[in-house]
Amino acid sequence: VQLQASGGGLVQPGGSLRLSCAASGRTFENYSTGWFRQAPEKERQFVAGIDDTGVLTIYRDSVQGRFTISVDKANNVVYLQMNSLKPEDTAVYYCGAAPLWRFVKVSSKYRHWGQGTQVTVSS
């Protein structure tokens, strides 16, 4: 499966962005999808994940209540709605496909990655 991430940009603190992760070649069926982010000189960190049914979701603590992950199965797109953005959310955001739900927080288990989209939160 090929993944294409988009939707990043520059936003003021408190603002919102919606990231998209579009799949081609195959659908998200049988894959769990995760969003990770990486700031300069920092390790890639898990942000949010959703299982292949779209029922199970999980978030890192710092984004819980502000970010929402969802899937549009008809169009093979996974979204990350980001509200109340903070400067510490600034990073390159990547989407990926993991073979099993139990691996959704483990980046080394991912088989497919999108190219990344820059999110900058600044006044």
List all residues 6 or more positions away from 64 whose beta carbon is below 8 Å from its beta carbon.
none
How wide is the angle at C-alpha 30 spanned by C-alphas 66 and 26, nearest 5°?
Answer: 95
Query: What is the reported pLDDT for 28?
Result: 72
- pLDDT, tens digit, for every residue of 10-69? 999 999 999 999 998 777 778 899 999 999 999 999 999 999 999 999 999 999 999 999
